[in-house]
Amino acid sequence: MILSDVKIREEMRRGRIVIRPYRPDCLGTNSYDVHLGPYLAVYARGALDARTPNPVREFRIPRDGFVLVPGQLYLGVTEEYTETHGFVPFLEGKSSVGRLGIDIHSTAGKGDEGFCNYWTLEMSVKLPVRIYGGMPVGQLIYFEISGAVARSYSAKRSAKYRRVSAHPTPSRMYLNFPRHRRRSG
């Protein structure tokens, strides 16, 4: 089941949902609006390699905006830091953003129970479009979990995106390959 506005506020009071900064006017009937943070990043090389770290070039979105162009993947970040304990958060693009031809995530719209961080956005566009830091880009929706969770995302040693950062985080897929796996013990 999806949490309602009343339930989201209740869980925030209990500390099971954290949203910073929190703006009461961004709470919808069953979602919370998140905003584009001040930074974007693009991969520095043309061809990416899943087995190795891929460097990015990060920049601050200018006050007068920045034009996203088709054919380029941009990594953005939410302005909001979130924590979710006991629920599964989903991030979906706002319909107004979608109607401008902006996709805010390629495949990573679902968070894990225990995710405590800013959300990195995998942004792409159908047409050139000017965007601005602070603009609403998505909605967080919270789902109840059926059953106990054996290990929260924040407690998993293998969790690749636990380091808190208000900057876009590039893919860490390379950590899935044997050469980069952490040794246990």
Residues marked active site are found at 122
Q: How far apart are CA 135 and CA 20, in angstroms?
A: 16
| Alpha-carbon distance values, 48 to 72, 124, 179 (Å) | 13, 16, 18
Terminal Cα-to-Cα distance of the chain (whole angstroms): 39
65 with 132: CB under 8 angstroms?
yes
> What one-character DSSP code corresponds to residue 155?
G
Q: How far apart are CA 64 and CA 71, in angstroms?
A: 22
